Structure 1
Amino acid sequence: MPTPPRLAPVFALFLLSPFVGEFLLGNLTLAELPLGLVLAPMYGCGALLVREVGRRSGGGWPAMVLLAAAYALIEEGPIDQLLWSDSYAGADLLHGPSYLPALGMSVELTQTVLALHTVWSVCVPIALVETLTRSRRSEPWLGRVGLAVVAVVFVAGGVLVFLGNYADEHFVASPGQLAGICLVIALLIAAAFAVRALRLPPLPGRAPAPWRVGLAALVLTSAYWGPANLLTDNWYEWVGVGVWCAGTVLGVWWVSRWSRQEGWGVRHRFALAAGALLTYVWVSFPVRPESGGSVRADLVGNAVFGALACLLLVWCARRTRVRPAEGNVISRTSAEA
């Protein structure tokens, strides 16, 4: 049975995932903090499952990214039905210019869901908590019993969210839509396990300085989220679809190259997460919470959450400093992509 200190990263990720995914983005306010405890079983346990399965399988970050994408579709598909509902939280997010009647889905909305949860709800929290966990960054944090408990809590949290949404919306997607999204989810999970066998060769040259990697992440993610939140006219929707595709290809290409160059390590992975997190800090201010309410209260909440996020980044940055006694331990894992 793990001792309490060994469970610290588990509890940290359990709480950080809903904080980044909902509160830091600006979807939920300070007054709605208790709702975070309702969302944590789904968000936090989902992130834990992604992290533990990715680490146990040996697929590392490529596997975790694919599993995080599967999580994104599970949450916004079968659980809360956002991908097909035209009245989610009282708003029609579905029927824009990129709506595809044959699928009953919006290209832009689906991309937004994948970006929201793959990167910010799952991968960024995992990267930050692993940064804080010096000697166990690439090791599993849970045994089989713990993993089973997390899976059960995740399912229970998902059922709770589904029932809450159904009570409000009285909407369920068609069997064909549910079957289609489940097929895509299954393919993503299969790809996460298959990627273990893919080992790309090292590349010549040295990885960029961590601050350059973080700046690139900030600029790239801001280039997507900024216009997506500030330009709400219909003409931009298909442009935004193109920006998402270009940003995804460019980001994957950059990270794939940099992570195979000499010197890539934990400080670079932290920098990627930090750049993405800072995008949420500034994007939260133009985002209005789903519940509406006072603009002043919303801005105060955004400032508080943003300050907490910056303090977390400072703490993580300090943890990336290698102490002499820890050098040998960290060197064994610093080359991992």
Structure 2
Amino acid sequence: MRKRVAPALGLFFLSPLIGEFLLGNLPVTMLVALITLAPLYGGGALLVRELARRRGVGWPGIVLLAVAYGLIEEGLVTRSLFNPGFAGMDLRSYAWIPGVEVSAWWTVFVLGVHVVGSICVPIAVMESLVPARASEPWLRRPGLVVAGVLLVLGAAASAVFATDSYDPGFGRLAGVALLAGLLVFLALRRRTPAAPGTIRSGRGPGGWAVLAFSLAAGAAFWLPVMNVDALGAWLVTAIHLALYATVCVLVVRWSGQPGWGVWQRFGLAAGGVLTYAWHGFPQPPAVPTDPMADLIGNLVFAVAAVALLVTAATRIRSHAAGRYVEWVA
């Protein structure tokens, strides 16, 4: 039971720690916010992972469920997708789409942040820490129910304590809910196993090359965001869409080639973690914070992130060595 519950509990806290604190959006002085953030982020990440692993839909299913999670959080909980003044921003000035009444830039940006930073990267890191159980469900049915209840409670608490209150109307909320439900349905459909002989020829990149690719993709995502006023919101939106398509196409192609495995998946996740670690320093926190306290907090989170990655790499190496010894024996 401890072997099953420990990684689930780790993911429960890792998701908000990466998604908000390592990113630099919240300072270390706001750790008390985990009371609401852990059920929302952690409950969501747990539910996504457990549903995908139980259904055997792999990472394509996880990604689709992560998009559904992002729609639920930003469309139904914070409602930032519809609020033109969310967090003090003037989203009407950032690739606003008349009629639809949403910011194309904000929608593409914030959903990407949730898919990668809130869900996929924390799941991949935690699975790397327990490589022997990476593809197994960690929770039984009661635990799955608890994760769902925590997500609902976290969403309700976040909605209650949200500083921005905005009513987009029942129709728009229902539209988001239907779209999220459709994504969940598509994600959890069992896929037909690939026929023998369909593996692509050639050998995919190694773990270090994938890590470098992940770091470059992270920079290509965040640097335009940090200069959105200079570049223009429509150009940044186009860059992000092109980046998403490129990453998806390349990763799907590489994952079908011989040699793709745990080190490549870890390289993608590690690149995401290290990207968030460097981004935390220039990112101004969302709440007023003493600059020195913010700097110290960013240093602590960055060092902890590197230590976590080193631990994960060590466990992957030990697991691989153990399997080799078992095979030889």
TM-score, normalization by structure 1: 0.91
Asked if the contact 1:83/1:94 (under 8 Å) is kept, the reply is no
CA contact (8 A) 1:220 1:247 kept: yes
Q: Give the aligned partner of residue 66 of structure 2.
A: 68
Indicate conservation of the 8 Å contact 1:100/1:106, yes or no: yes
Q: How many residues end up aligned between the 2 structures?
A: 325
Amino acid in structure 2 at the alignment position of 1:261: Q
Counterpart code for 1:189: V
Partner of 1:218: 215
> Matched residues in 1 for 2:164 and 2:319: separation?
54
Q: Report the Cα distance in structure 2 between the residues aligned to 1:272 and 1:84, rounded to whole angstroms.
A: 31
Distance 1:110 1:204, change over 3 A: same
Name the residue aligned to 2:11.
13
2:179 aligned with 1:181, yes or no?
Answer: no
Contact 1:96 1:234 in 2 (8 A): no
SS in 2 for 1:321: helix
1:199 and 1:241, CA in 2 relative to 1: closer, same or farther beyond 3 A? Answer: farther
The 8 Å contact of residues 84 and 94 in structure 1, kept in 2 or not, is answered as no
- Within 5 Å, give how 1:1-337 maps onto structure 2: 3-89=1-87, 91-165=88-162, 168-194=163-189, 196-197=191-192, 199=194, 201-229=198-226, 231-233=227-229, 235-323=231-319, 326-327=322-323
Partner Cα distance (2:35, 2:324) in 1: 39
| Cα shift at 1:329 | 11
Contact 2:66-2:120 at 8 Å conserved across structures: yes
Contact 2:94 2:106 (8 Å CA) reproduced: no
Q: Is the 8 A contact 2:131 2:319 kept in 1?
A: no
Answer yes or no: is the 8 Å Cα contact 2:224–2:231 preserved in 1: no
Q: 1:24 and 1:50 mapped to 2: Cα distance?
A: 21
What is the alpha-carbon distance in structure 1 between the residues aligned to residue 72 and residue 165 of structure 2? Answer: 19
The CA RMSD over aligned residues, in Å, is 1.9
Deviations 1:149-186 (A, max 9, x none): 11111111111111111xx3332221121122122212
Give the drift of 1:256: 0.6
Code of the residue aligned with 2:10 in structure 1: it is: A
User: Are the counterparts in 2 of residues 10 and 48 from structure 1 also a CA contact under 8 Å?
Assistant: yes
Q: What 5-or-longer segments of structure 2 have no aligned partner?
A: none
Q: How far apart are 1:323 and its partner, in Å?
A: 4.6
Counterpart CA distance in 2 for 1:283 and 1:126 is 20
2:210–2:264 CA contact under 8 A, matched in 1: yes
Whichever residue aligns with residue 84 of structure 1, its letter is F
Question: Which has the higher mean CA deviation after the structures are superposed, 278-287 or 92-101?
Answer: 92-101
Larger CA deviation: 198-207 vs 101-110:
198-207
- Classify 1:139/1:305 alpha carbon distance in 2 versus 1 (closer, same or farther; 3 Å): same
Work out the CA distance in 1 between the residues paired with 2:221 and 2:326: 34
1:6·1:141 contact (CA, 8 Å) conserved in 2? yes
SS of aligned partner of 1:196: coil
Cα distance between partner residues in 2 of 1:329 and 1:74: 46
Taking every aligned residue pair, what percent have the same amino acid on both sides? 42
Would you say the 8 A contact 2:43–2:151 is kept in 1?
yes
Shift of 1:279: 1.0
Q: Which stretches in structure 1 are left out of the alignment for 5+ residues?
A: 332-337
- CA deviations 1:130-166 (Å, max 9, x no partner) are 011122110100111111111111111111111111x
Distance 1:294 1:330, change over 3 A: farther
Secondary structure of 2:277's aligned partner: helix
Deviations along 1:263-283, one digit per CA (max 9) or x if unpaired, are 111111000000111111111
Cα pair distance change 1:293/1:64, threshold 3 Å = same
Cα distance change of structure 1 residues 175 and 24 upon mapping to structure 2, 3 Å threshold: same
Whole-angstrom distance in 2 between the partners of 1:202 and 1:170: 51
Using the size of structure 2 for normalisation, the TM-score is: 0.94
Give, in whole Å, the separation in 2 of the partners of 1:270 and 1:325.
17
CA separation of 1:27 and 1:240: change in aligned 2, threshold 3 A: same
3-state secondary structure, aligned to 2:317:
coil
Q: Classify 1:274/1:324 alpha carbon distance in 2 versus 1 (closer, same or farther; 3 Å).
A: closer
> C-alpha displacement at 1:227, in angstroms?
2.0
